[in-house]
């Protein structure tokens, strides 16, 4: 049911549209002044909340002894309220509607003893436009969310660290379906950077709203020096929402309350209205000062219900209902939608579905939060690179380089990315250079591995053929011409090449294929690489292609003469093609994982091209890894690597591990050491305590 209030002349008009299409239009008198007076103390206790809610219900739906169509529908339909300020002809009329909108409608309490917002739901809408046939759509996968807390000082008193940690624990297990960035004590620059790069569908802010009479509303942030406070102004908030947010959650006191310069002056916009006026699609904000533990319970319930596939209205209603009805704080969160949704409601989360037969490495632990907690920035960078609606994320273009020391987690996150791009419908290849034989590997060996799929190392060190990485490229004939011509070349007769389909003869070329006869003025490798690029482009024309080369410490398996043509004839042309129109998604992407020193080795050709031939504004995107954090503190590293709730348990565990295994491996190897050490008999007590369902944290869930 949509109830629209407007000013017609000097009369207050009420228009109701029921779910069955029935409409009722009439005029009503303004509420009695006592309604406004009682609303001012509505959140002081349970009795005051019921009193105010009863008065609001009686005014909106009619007295108890006068049955109305309004009241009959109120018990069976969601209620959407729209206060049409555009109907006001002057400031006085706008003030009347603003005062009405400022009442705590979420406390509507029926004569039958029922809070409507806890049963069917009570919500606000900012605009009533003709419904779009398709209705609102959930944001594209993966769901991007930036969660930030405001200025330091009383953050701990307000429970902001606990709220951010609750969001981590809730979202991280969803792994690749949600791209979460958490900013503790955000500065203006830090929050702006995260929004520009991540292009989040959801912005979550917990902190102060700087609700000061006579001043414009602001989000209170931390100063750049970390000592004082700063604030986002209305103009800065407007700049944040480009492109617009799908949902803004403001866990900030009175963030839905408009300011008033003087008793008879026009009310200013609230923080919620600022975001809505800058094209945000939905805003949840607080209409009073809310306690940290209540806000946290609501927030966790809200997102958990969204993750379970419920519409936003259903999620808000369920989150309100989970809070004790004797505490009127449950009604403080206000949901305002920019437009009236379709009957089904407003969708928030739609997890991608893909056949498991196409998702590699899921059994590897690459999706597990306990193995990826320390690589949030790298995971986020990879996801944003592959699926970047803002075109602002870094890396950009068709090439990303994962650079770092040995055993710093590069291969681990690259495998994680393989499953992510499978969810994004890419055709994928993961080429593990360690699976090639020692020495004598040729460019043709590499091209065959990309075309057919390559064995890969599993977590236990074994080499296995992962079926999902050997799914043939589509369309089926994409490599027919390449196969035919390469067969002819390997047979020694280039003129015999034909478009006939057929497998490439399993012949291994000498390591120095550049010593073979020239073909059309090119070396053998240059010519073959060009043929392969044409085949790849044909495959990518149907579905994009993602090629991950896990070079690691195996670069010595290829000589520069074998890998250089791959860079020159395949990778660099894709960069040049994308650079001509960087607004398009590259149809072919390459992720190369290697040690930094390979800039002067296997990647030398790429470095030469960048110095001498690349467009001046192009730099390849790099994602940096390190074996240990600054200072090499193993305890700190273990703390970051695992996903726990209680800091003292983390530190206790880390101390036990370091004491029991002084030679603990660096990097990702430390994860394996931790796991194996805990399984040893001497650590059973620590293991039991950590996994205790009541006292512990259950990290091996």
Split at pLDDT 50, 70, 90, the class of 692 is very low
Of 332-341, 371-380, 456-465, 576-585, the range with the lowest mean pLDDT is: 456-465
Split at pLDDT 50, 70, 90, the class of 127 is confident
Structure token digits, residue 258: 């408009």
Of 114-123, 232-241, 326-335, the range with the lowest mean pLDDT is: 232-241
Give the highest mean pLDDT range of 11-20, 150-159, 282-291, 579-588.
282-291
Interval 391-412: pLDDT, tens: 555 667 899 999 888 777 788 7
Q: Is the pLDDT of residue 37 over 50?
A: yes
Share of the chain above pLDDT 90, in %: 19
Split at pLDDT 50, 70, 90, the class of 70 is confident
pTM of the model: 0.74
Residue 393: what pLDDT?
Answer: 58
Q: For residues 666 and 627, is the Cβ–Cβ distance under 8 A?
A: yes
Q: Is the pLDDT of residue 224 over 80?
A: yes
Q: Is the pLDDT of residue 477 over 60?
A: yes
CA dist 638 and 366 (Å) reads 17
Cross-strand pairs, 430: 548
Split at pLDDT 50, 70, 90, the class of 81 is very high
Using alpha carbons, select from 452, 512, 523 the residue that is nearest to residue 489.
Answer: 523
Residue 566, H or E segment: helix 560-566
Residue 175: what pLDDT?
Answer: 65
Mean per-residue pLDDT, 527-545: 92
Share of the chain above pLDDT 70, in %: 70
Mean per-residue pLDDT, 18-44: 88
Q: At what angle do helices 410-423 and 376-386 cross, to 10 degrees?
A: 40
Domains of the chain from N-terminus onward:
2-127 (no CATH), 143-339 (3.40.50.1460), 356-624 (no CATH), 634-691 (no CATH)
Mean per-residue pLDDT, 278-283: 90
Using alpha carbons, select from 594, 532, 597, 599 the residue that is nearest to residue 566.
Answer: 532
Q: Is the pLDDT of residue 429 over 70?
A: yes
Secondary structure class of 285 (helix, strand, coil)? strand
Q: Is the pLDDT of residue 149 over 60?
A: yes
Split at pLDDT 50, 70, 90, the class of 42 is very high
**E runs forming strands in 9-115:** 11-17, 23-28, 79-83
Interval 593-639: pLDDT, tens: 988 877 778 888 888 898 889 888 887 788 888 655 444 444 444 44
Split at pLDDT 50, 70, 90, the class of 282 is very high
Q: For residues 427 and 473, is the Cβ–Cβ distance under 8 A?
A: yes
Split at pLDDT 50, 70, 90, the class of 283 is very high
Using alpha carbons, select from 418, 483, 477 the residue that is nearest to residue 447.
Answer: 483
Structure token digits, residue 483: 């196969």
Split at pLDDT 50, 70, 90, the class of 646 is very low
Mean per-residue pLDDT, 101-119: 89
Burial class (CB in 10 A: 0-12, 13-18, 19+), 464: exposed
Q: Is the pLDDT of residue 260 over 60?
A: no
Split at pLDDT 50, 70, 90, the class of 471 is confident
Q: For residues 442 and 513, is the Cβ–Cβ distance under 8 A?
A: yes
Split at pLDDT 50, 70, 90, the class of 452 is confident
Which CA distances in Å does 525 have to 105, 367, 437, 518?
Answer: 73, 38, 20, 9
Using alpha carbons, select from 59, 66, 14, 10 the residue that is nearest to residue 35.
Answer: 59
Mean pLDDT of the chain: 76
Split at pLDDT 50, 70, 90, the class of 457 is low
Quote the DSSP letter at residue 142.
S
Split at pLDDT 50, 70, 90, the class of 696 is very low
Q: Is the dihedral of CA 241, 244, 249, 253 positive or negative?
A: positive
Mean per-residue pLDDT, 538-551: 91
Mean per-residue pLDDT, 173-178: 71
Q: For residues 447 and 528, is the Cβ–Cβ distance under 8 A?
A: yes
Which CA distances in Å does 605 have to 395, 559, 573?
Answer: 20, 12, 13
Structure token digits, residue 377: 């920035």
> Whats the size of the chain, residue-wise?
701
CA dist 647 and 197 (Å) reads 30
């Amino acid at each position: 049911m949509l109830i629209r209030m407007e000013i017609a002349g000097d009369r207050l008009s009420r228009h109701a549209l029921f779910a069955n299409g029935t409409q009722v239009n009439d005029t009503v008198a303004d509420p009695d002044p006592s309604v406004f007076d009682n609303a001012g103390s509505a959140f002081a206790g349970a009795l005051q909340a019921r009193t105010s809610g009863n008065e609001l219900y009686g005014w909106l739906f009619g007295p108890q002894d006068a049955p109305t169509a309004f009241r009959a529908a109120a018990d069976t339909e969601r209620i959407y309220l729209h206060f049409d300020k555009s109907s006001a002809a002057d400031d006085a009329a706008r003030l009347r509607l603003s005062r009405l909108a400022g009442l705590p409608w979420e406390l509507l309490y029926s004569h039958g003893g029922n809070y409507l917002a806890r049963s069917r739901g009570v919500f606000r809408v900012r605009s009533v436009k003709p419904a779009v046939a398709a209705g609102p759509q959930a944001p594209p996968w993966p769901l991007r969310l930036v969660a930030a807390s405001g200025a330091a000082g009383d953050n701990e008193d307000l429970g902001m660290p606990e709220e951010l940690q609750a969001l981590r624990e809730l979202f991280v297990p969803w792994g690749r379906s949600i791209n979460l960035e958490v900013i503790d004590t955000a500065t203006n620059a830090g929050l702006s950077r995260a929004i520009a790069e991540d292009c989040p569908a959801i912005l979550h802010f917990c902190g102060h709203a700087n609700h000061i009479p006579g001043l414009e509303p602001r989000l209170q942030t931390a100063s750049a020096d970390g000592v004082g406070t700063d604030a986002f102004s209305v103009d800065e908030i407007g700049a944040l929402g480009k492109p617009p947010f799908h949902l803004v959650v403001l866990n900030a006191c009175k963030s839905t309350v408009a300011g008033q310069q003087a008793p008879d002056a026009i009310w200013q916009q609230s923080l919620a209205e600022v975001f809505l006026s800058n094209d945000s699609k939905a805003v949840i904000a607080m209409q009073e000062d809310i306690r940290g533990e209540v806000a946290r319970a609501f927030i966790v319930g809200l997102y958990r219900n969204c993750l379970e596939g419920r519409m936003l209205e259903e999620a808000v209603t369920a989150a309100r209902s989970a809070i004790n009805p004797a505490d009127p704080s449950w009604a403080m969160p206000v949901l305002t939608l920019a437009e009236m949704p379709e009957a089904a409601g407003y969708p928030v989360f739609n997890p991608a579905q893909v056949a498991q037969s196409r998702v590699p490495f899921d059994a590897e632990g690459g999706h597990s939060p306990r193995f990826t907690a320390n690589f949030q920035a790298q995971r986020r960078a990879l996801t944003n690179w592959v699926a970047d609606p803002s075109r602002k994320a870094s890396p950009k273009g068709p090439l990303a380089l994962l650079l770092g020391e040995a055993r710093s987690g590069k291969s681990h996150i690259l495998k994680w990315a393989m499953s992510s791009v499978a969810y994004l419908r890419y055709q994928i290849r993961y080429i593990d250079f360690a699976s090639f034989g020692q020495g004598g590997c040729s460019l043709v060996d590499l091209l065959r591995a990309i075309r057919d799929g390559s064995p890969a190392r599993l977590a236990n060190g074994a080499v296995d053929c992962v079926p999902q990485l050997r799914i043939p490229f589509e369309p089926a004939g994409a490599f027919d011409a390449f196969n035919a011509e390469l067969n002819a070349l390997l047979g020694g007769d280039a003129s015999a090449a034909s478009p006939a389909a057929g497998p490439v003869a399993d012949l291994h070329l000498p390591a120095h294929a550049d010593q073979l006869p020239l073909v059309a003025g090119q070396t053998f490798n240059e010519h073959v690489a060009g043929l392969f690029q044409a085949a790849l482009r044909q495959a990518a024309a149907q579905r994009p292609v993602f090629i991950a080369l896990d070079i690691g410490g195996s670069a010595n398996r290829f000589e520069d003469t074998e890998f250089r043509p791959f860079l020159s004839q395949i990778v660099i042309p894709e960069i040049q093609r994308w650079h001509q129109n960087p607004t398009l998604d590259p149809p072919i992407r390459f992720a190369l994982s290697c040690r930094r020193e390979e800039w002067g080795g296997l990647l030398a050709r790429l470095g030469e091209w960048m110095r001498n031939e690349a467009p001046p504004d192009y730099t390849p995107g790099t994602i940096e890894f390190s074996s240990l954090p600054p200072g090499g503190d193993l305890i700190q590293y273990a703390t970051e690597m695992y996903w726990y709730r209680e800091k003292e348990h983390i530190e206790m565990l880390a101390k036990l591990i370091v004491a029991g295994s002084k030679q603990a491996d660096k990097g990702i190897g430390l994860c394996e050491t931790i796991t194996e050490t805990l399984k040893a008999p001497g650590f059973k007590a620590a293991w039991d305590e950590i996994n205790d369902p009541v006292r512990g944290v259950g990290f091996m869930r």
